Amino acid sequence: MSETLALTQALIAQNTIDPPGNERLAAMEVARVLRKEGIEPLVYEIAPGRTNLVARLRGTGEGPALAFSAHFDTIGVDADKWQVHPFAGDIKGGRLYGRGSTDMKGGMAAMTVAMLNIARSGKTLKGDLVLTFSAAENSNCLGARRLLADGHFNGVGALLVSEPTGNRAFVAEKGALWLRAIAQGEYGHNAFSEGRGGDRGNAIVRLARFLDKAHDLVLDAPVHRHIGPPTINIGMIRGGVAFPLIPDVASADIDIRLVPGQCPDSVQAAFEAIAGPHIRIEQQDVKLPVDTPDDHPFVEQCLAACTAEGVENPGPDGVAYYSDAAIIAPPLNLPMVIIGPGEVGMSGAVDEYVWINKLETSARIFERVALSYLRAE
């Protein structure tokens, strides 16, 4: 069994579903293999049960650092729907199964092994190679926010993320704007509501009428070379007290996937324009879109690495999900590329898997990118 495959299995065996996360379980697996090679990582808690890991392979300081980015947490599991155990790391038909195999413990393992291989090679790097592995990406990107605030990206010149791409190079990702629509109603009892007209002061009805318009809202957005238009999803609703009572408040959470060049404030204003007098719109979170020019030198180095390892149609391309890059790249103006062994659309899937051959290939791609960007000698 290869080192990359073994580490991926070890990471899958650790249940890091968010919530609650418990990322330290997986962080200690990465720390264990790094320490065996004399690389001492920083493993630190950013909130109860939430853990980041940073490891640095020092260069000469003659060039900028390269950051490898991945997250420990995974999406939840409905085990009754799985044909394999979600944390066993079963191997069948050239695939490694398990929660996180695609998103993104496979990519994390491959990045770790790439660092180990470079350390073993004895080659001198002009800049540092930094592992920046985070907690809580699937919810609020708290881990990435702390990594940024704690200065771990100081001196970094480029960001490589191992979210699933099938080992193709993605240079753009959509952002996410999370809005909450809150409807105010007029509390009362249905038995005494004969005199009420229209929506009868029912917060749920007011919310429902707004959501019907929100679902069909067409947002102005620039056309992007790799990414389709923005999308809107009403993901959760709340309201009501009991059968006979007219609710005085109801709310809904709305996810809007933003394209590069789209302003979150303008999008929120579009929802406010259709809200009416009884609906209040509150911003819960925003993760900005990320876009790196196709002809950026870092993109070209990544494409060359993919091509050298036999990746068909290496890109560049874009994707609709967001990653920790949404927190890291925009404020630092970093070029970002996403390359990962998992398949797009497999994140959070029942019987999630990664192709073992792509897993092994990704470790070699990451090593090539690092040696090229950091001008190894």
Distance of CA 109 to the CA centre of its chain: 16
- Within 135-246, strands assigned E span 156-161, 170-173, 175-184, 188-189, 231-239, 245-246
254-286: b (≥16 Cβ within 10 Å) or e: bbbbbbbebebeebbebbeeebeebbebeeeeb
Q: What is the pLDDT of residue 139?
A: 84
- The answer on pLDDT for 62 being more than 90 is yes
- The answer on pLDDT for 376 being more than 90 is no
Contact between residue 260 and residue 290 where contact means Cβ atoms under 8 Å apart: yes
Give the chain's radius of gyration (CA, Å): 23
What is the 3-state composition of the chain as percent helix, strand, coil, each rounded to the nearest 5?
A: 30, 25, 45
User: pTM (2 decimals)?
Assistant: 0.95
Delineate the domains of the chain, giving CATH numbers in brackets.
Answer: 3-173+290-373 (3.40.630.10), 175-287 (3.30.70.360)
% of residues, the chain, pLDDT over 70: 100
Contact between residue 318 and residue 344 where contact means Cβ atoms under 8 Å apart: no
Q: What is the pLDDT of residue 85?
A: 97
- State pLDDT tens for residues 313-360: 999 999 999 999 999 999 999 999 999 999 999 999 999 999 999 999
Q: What is the pLDDT of residue 207?
A: 98
Residue (of 204, 200, 205, 206) closest to 188 by Cα position: 200
- The answer on pLDDT for 49 being more than 90 is no
Contact between residue 347 and residue 201 where contact means Cβ atoms under 8 Å apart: no
Residue (of 158, 162, 154) closest to 114 by Cα position: 162
Euclidean distance between CA atoms 201 and 10, whole angstroms: 55
Q: What is the pLDDT of residue 245?
A: 97
Contacts for 198 with CB less than 8 Å, ≥ 6 apart: none
Q: What is the pLDDT of residue 276?
A: 93
- State pLDDT tens for residues 194-240: 999 999 999 999 999 999 999 999 999 999 999 999 999 999 999 99
- The answer on pLDDT for 15 being more than 90 is yes
% of residues, the chain, pLDDT over 90: 98
Question: What mean pLDDT is predicted for residues 17-34?
Answer: 96
Contacts for 285 with CB less than 8 Å, ≥ 6 apart: 140, 176, 177, 178
- The answer on pLDDT for 42 being more than 90 is yes
Identity of the residue numbered 299? V
Torsion of CA 76, 54, 62, 37, to 10 degrees: -110
Euclidean distance between CA atoms 377 and 375, whole angstroms: 7
Euclidean distance between CA atoms 299 and 278, whole angstroms: 48
Question: What mean pLDDT is predicted for residues 158-170?
Answer: 98
